[in-house]
């Protein structure tokens, strides 16, 4: 595997790369970051091979509150147009979907905790997911969803959310769920997002229940590393 120049966009201090960082460093890839919550500095698009867009509590439509979203969307569009490999997680997937012309909007239900995703028939035959289990329990923390971008392949869904994963042009992958989660990042998200953990909601788990299932982060990491290896090979 060639050494890649991986640039990532981070929206809040408590949502970093998670286990993606371990994969990148283990494979000798170079990491750089634009921290949107600080003075944002973007690398020239020709200086990167991959762009990874992380999650965050804001919405893609919050440009009045987070003015940097305007430039961020332009940068994502540049990366896609330049043929870079682009990976979006949670908010990142929503930003990619909007950049590709799809509508992003509040889902009927917030989905927070460990819930199953189901692979579509397309995913089962796709080179990224072809030997993955048809049902996988992954971590979620999102209130918004998106329509499937035109010409994108639908890869996964959950009971609460129809569009959980898609791939566009074999190089642009959107994951609504947090497959990069580590035990540490679980604690951080639960701490900073305590007010969203409403009791009595079908698709919202308590902080205790979330952390009780923290061992799932290890199996998620195994799947993540396989996806990243295959994405790099493509």
Select from 49, 216, 82, 32 the least CA-distant residue to 140. 216
d(CA 11, CA 9): 7
Higher pLDDT, 45 or 14: 45
Q: Which residues contact 74 (CB under 8 A, 6 or more apart)?
A: none
140 catalytic? Reply is: no
Express each pLDDT in 204-223 by its tens digit: 999 889 889 999 999 999 99
161 catalytic? Reply is: no
d(CA 53, CA 105): 18
Taking residues 98-119, report their average pLDDT: 96
Give the pLDDT confidence score for residue 136 in this predicted structure.
Answer: 95
Taking residues 10-34, report their average pLDDT: 95
Catalytically annotated residue among 11, 154, 163, 178: 178
Indicate whether 224 pLDDT > 80.
yes
Using alpha carbons only, give the angle 129, 225, 27 rounded to the nearest 5 degrees: 135
Query: Domain limits of the chain?
Result: 5-233
Catalytically annotated residue among 15, 98, 111, 180: 180
Q: At how many degrees (to 10) do helices 68-81 and 91-99 cross?
A: 70
- How many other CB atoms are found less than 10 A from the CB of residue 173? 25
| Residue 1 pLDDT level (bands cut at 50, 70, 90) | low
As a whole number, the mean pLDDT across the chain is: 93
Taking residues 92-99, report their average pLDDT: 98
Express each pLDDT in 161-186 by its tens digit: 999 999 999 999 999 999 999 888 87
Catalytically annotated residue among 90, 111, 140, 154: 90
State the architecture of 5-233 in CATH terms.
3-Layer(aba) Sandwich (3.40)
Strands (E), the chain: 5-10, 30-35, 50-53, 85-89, 104-119, 135-146, 153-157, 165-168, 172-175
d(CA 233, CA 170): 11
């Amino acid at each position: 595997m060639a050494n890649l120049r991986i640039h990532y966009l981070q929206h809040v201090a408590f949502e970093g790369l998670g286990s993606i960082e371990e994969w990148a460093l283990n494979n000798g890839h170079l990491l750089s970051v634009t921290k949107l919550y600080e003075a944002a500095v973007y690398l020239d698009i020709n200086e990167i091979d991959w762009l990874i867009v992380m999650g965050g509590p804001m919405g893609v439509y919050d440009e009045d509150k987070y003015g940097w979203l305007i430039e961020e969307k332009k940068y994502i569009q540049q990366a896609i147009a330049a043929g870079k490999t682009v990976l979006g997680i949670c908010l990142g997937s929503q930003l990619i979907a909007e950049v590709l012309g799809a509508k992003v909007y509040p889902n009927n239900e917030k989905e927070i905790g460990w819930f199953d995703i189901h692979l579509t028939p397309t995913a089962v035959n796709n080179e990224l997911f072809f030997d993955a289990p048809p049902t996988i329990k992954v971590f979620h923390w999102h209130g918004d969803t998106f329509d499937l971008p035109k010409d994108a392949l639908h890869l996964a869904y959950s009971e609460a959310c129809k569009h959980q994963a898609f791939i566009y042009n074999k190089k642009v992958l959107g994951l609504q769920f947090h497959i990069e989660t580590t035990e540490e990042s679980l604690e951080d998200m639960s701490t900073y997002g305590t007010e969203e953990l409403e009791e009595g909601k079908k698709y919202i788990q308590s902080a205790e229940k979330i952390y009780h299932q923290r061992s799932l982060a290890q199996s998620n990491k195994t799947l993540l590393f396989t996806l990243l290896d295959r994405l790099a090979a493509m």
